[in-house]
């Protein structure tokens, strides 16, 4: 049986209110009113070309800049080894139960999704970039991973039923959309009650020094990329260094956010705050602690002080000013 037929009970048109049917003979999905969605190299294309301009620009950008790439990954074993070195990836893998339905929204080349594909989890990974998705799909196919599907799809027009997923992950994505808060709200519609949402965003203060470097590079010269060792490190391939440089300094659209701002998104969307990363953050999670275990949050005045100190955090400067927040749907 063609693996695409497994998606007939998953892909759902919220506009038409019906499941898509798979045409095995001609290899495409179809709605009841005969809208067709082609499948290219194993990836169903459910992205509307009439989508907002920012989505189209980002799709084009990441077709050229495939981030992260697979230069240092030969097989599934090397992927596991690399991913296990990330405390965040490892904790997700340790704490997300078997058989969970997971959505990775903005999966890029799919390395996190592939890493989490163990333990019979059902994973659906969406992105706008055909080039990035293609790299992930080739790796999936090469390693015979059957419980993971890559789909070309927009966060603003998803083809799933509401309240479908146990876990939704969107790591380093929402700040590249037309409206990060609106994108977050869209994601929460598809999260089950008691399900977890994990989002990673650029921090308003933690990204300060990166913004300075962006300014120098944009208005003067790429020469200033020497200010970021990750753009020329011998530890990585030339392609990987290039992908980091383009993603950090040439991305056509990015916004920055704060803990307090995102916490207000949680409150509006009936999401209970659980924890945050990095360790210097309010409600932070220690390396030895569970990331899905609820943490106490500081009073607001302490949160504001902690947020402002992110501009001088060595970790934030090194990682481009990034933070993660985890919530649970009430």
Q: Is the pLDDT of residue 286 over 60?
A: no
pLDDT at 252 over 90: no
Helix (H) or strand (E) holding 76, with range, is helix 76-84
> How do the domains of the chain map onto residue ranges?
3-200, 208-249
For helices 238-249 and 208-219, the axis angle rounded to 10 degrees is 100
pLDDT band at residue 246 using 50, 70 and 90 as cut-offs: confident
pLDDT digits (tens, 9 = 90+) for 209-229: 888 888 888 888 888 888 888
Lowest mean pLDDT among 80-94, 147-161, 279-293: 279-293
Percentage of residues in the chain with pLDDT exceeding 90? 57
Q: Residue 274 pLDDT more than 70?
A: yes
Burial 208-245 (b: 16+ CB within 10 A, else e): bbbeebbebbeeeeeebbeebebbeeeebeeebbbbbb
Give domain 3-200's CATH number out of 3.40.50.150, 3.40.50.720, 3.10.180.10, 3.40.930.10: 3.40.50.150
- Say what the pLDDT of residue 225 is: 82
pTM assigned to the model: 0.91
pLDDT digits (tens, 9 = 90+) for 155-198: 999 999 999 999 999 999 999 999 999 999 999 999 999 999 99
CB 315 within 8 A of CB 79: no
pLDDT tens readout for residues 109-120:
999 999 999 999
* Range name among 181-185, 297-301, 312-316 with the lowest pLDDT average: 312-316
Q: What is the mean pLDDT of residues 275-293?
A: 72
| 94-103, 169-178, 239-248: least confident range | 239-248
pLDDT band at 285 (very low <50, low <70, confident <90, very high): low
8 Å CB contact between 327 and 266: yes
Query: What is residue 163's predicted lDDT score, i.e. its pLDDT?
Result: 98
Q: What average pLDDT does the chain have?
A: 88
pLDDT score at 39: 97
- Rounded to the nearest 10°, the torsion over CA 212, 213, 215, 217 is 170
């Amino acid at each position: 049986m063609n693996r695409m037929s497994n998606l007939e009970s998953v892909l759902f048109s919220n506009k038409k209110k019906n499941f898509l049917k798979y045409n095995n003979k001609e290899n495409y999905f179809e709605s009841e009113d005969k809208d067709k969605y082609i499948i290219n190299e194993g990836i169903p294309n459910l992205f509307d070309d009439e989508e907002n301009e920012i989505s189209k620009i980002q799709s084009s950008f990441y077709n050229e800049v495939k981030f992260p790439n697979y230069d240092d990954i030969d097989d599934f074993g090397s992927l596991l080894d690399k991913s296990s070195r990330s405390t965040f990836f490892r904790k997700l893998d340790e704490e997300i139960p078997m058989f969970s339905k997971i959505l990775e929204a903005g999966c890029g080349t799919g390395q996190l999704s592939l890493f989490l594909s163990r333990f019979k989890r059902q994973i659906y990974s969406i992105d706008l970039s055909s080039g990035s998705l293609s790299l992930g799909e080739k790796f999936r196919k090469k390693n015979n991973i059957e419980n993971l599907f890559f789909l070309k799809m927009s966060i603003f027009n998803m083809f799933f039923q509401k309240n479908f997923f146990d876990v939704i992950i969107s790591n380093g994505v929402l700040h590249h959309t037309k409206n990060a808060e609106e994108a977050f709200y869209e994601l929460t519609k598809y999260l089950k009650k008691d399900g977890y949402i994990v989002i990673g965003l650029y921090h308003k203060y933690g990204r300060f020094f990166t913004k300075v470097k962006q300014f120098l590079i944009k208005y003067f010269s790429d020469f200033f990329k020497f200010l970021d060792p990750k753009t020329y490190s011998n530890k990585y391939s030339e392609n990987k260094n290039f992908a980091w440089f383009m993603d950090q300094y040439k991305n056509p659209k990015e916004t920055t956010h704060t803990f307090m701002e995102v916490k207000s998104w949680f409150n509006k969307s009936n999401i209970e705050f659980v924890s945050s990363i990095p360790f210097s953050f309010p409600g932070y999670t220690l390396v030895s602690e569970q990331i899905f275990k609820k943490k106490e949050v500081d009073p607001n005045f302490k949160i504001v002080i902690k947020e402002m100190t992110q501009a001088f955090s060595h970790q934030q400067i090194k990682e481009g000013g990034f933070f993660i927040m985890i919530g649970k749907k009430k």
